[in-house]
């Protein structure tokens, strides 16, 4: 994947949210400047369609995790609308990514350079760079 220089990389799962910047070349990403935005996962309208008893009972759906994904989207939306980010790559586990997509603002969608549906939270930076380069 071509990741523009200075692009933001949002790494999200149901509990973590980290934003990094690419200081490398488009085909050779070099991530740095990690930031952990403070989110208030208050969007509990997230995942309303997942509130079936079976999903909750078997642990397939956690509304707090979905709310966290929605809050991450809201943070990215605010930065996009304010013009503080231009190029964004979102890396998130499939369930979180699906929830995030439901909350993308049109300004954020214009700035998306890609999405990777993979759990990368807690992985070393070199591994994340490798996944981006191979995508």
Give the CATH number of the domain where residue 127 resides.
3.30.420
Res 58: pLDDT: 52
Q: What is the total count of domains within the chain?
A: 1
Residue 73 lies in a domain: yes
This prediction has a pTM of 0.85
Q: In the chain, which residue ranges form alpha helices assigned H by DSSP?
A: 53-57, 63-81, 94-101, 106-111, 125-134
Burial 106-130 (b: 16+ CB within 10 A, else e): ebbeebbbbbbeebbbeeeeeebbe
pLDDT at 74 over 60: yes
Residue 3 lies in a domain: no
- Contact (CB, 8 A) for 14 and 97: no
pLDDT (mean) for 103-131? 96
Average of per-residue pLDDT values in the chain: 87
Look-up: residue for tokens 């949002």? 10
Residue 38 lies in a domain: yes
Residue 1 lies in a domain: no
Lowest mean pLDDT among 21-25, 39-43, 82-86: 39-43
Share of the chain above pLDDT 70, in %: 84
Question: Tokens at residue 7, please?
Answer: 């692009």
> Which is more confident, 4 or 44?
4
pLDDT at 111 over 60: yes
- Model confidence over 88-110: pLDDT tens digits? 999 999 999 999 999 999 999 99
Residue 2 lies in a domain: no
pLDDT at 51 over 50: no
Cα–Cα separations (whole angstroms), residue 7 to 24, 86, 98, 99 = 10, 7, 22, 22
Domain hosting 96: range is 8-134
């Amino acid at each position: 994947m071509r990741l523009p220089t200075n692009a933001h990389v949002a790494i999200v799962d149901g509990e973590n949210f980290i934003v990094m910047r690419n200081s490398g070349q488009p085909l050779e990403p070099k991530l740095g400047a990690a930031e952990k935005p403070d989110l208030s996962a208050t969007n509990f309208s997230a995942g309303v369609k997942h509130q079936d008893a079976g999903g909750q009972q078997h642990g397939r759906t956690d509304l707090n995790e979905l709310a966290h994904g929605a809050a991450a989207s809201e943070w990215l939306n605010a930065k996009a609308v304010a013009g503080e980010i231009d190029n964004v790559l979102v890396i998130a586990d499939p369930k979180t990514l699906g929830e995030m997509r439901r909350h993308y603002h049109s300004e954020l969608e214009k700035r998306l350079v890609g999405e990777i549906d993979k759990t990368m939270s807690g992985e070393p930076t070199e591994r994340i760079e490798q996944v981006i380069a191979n995508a």
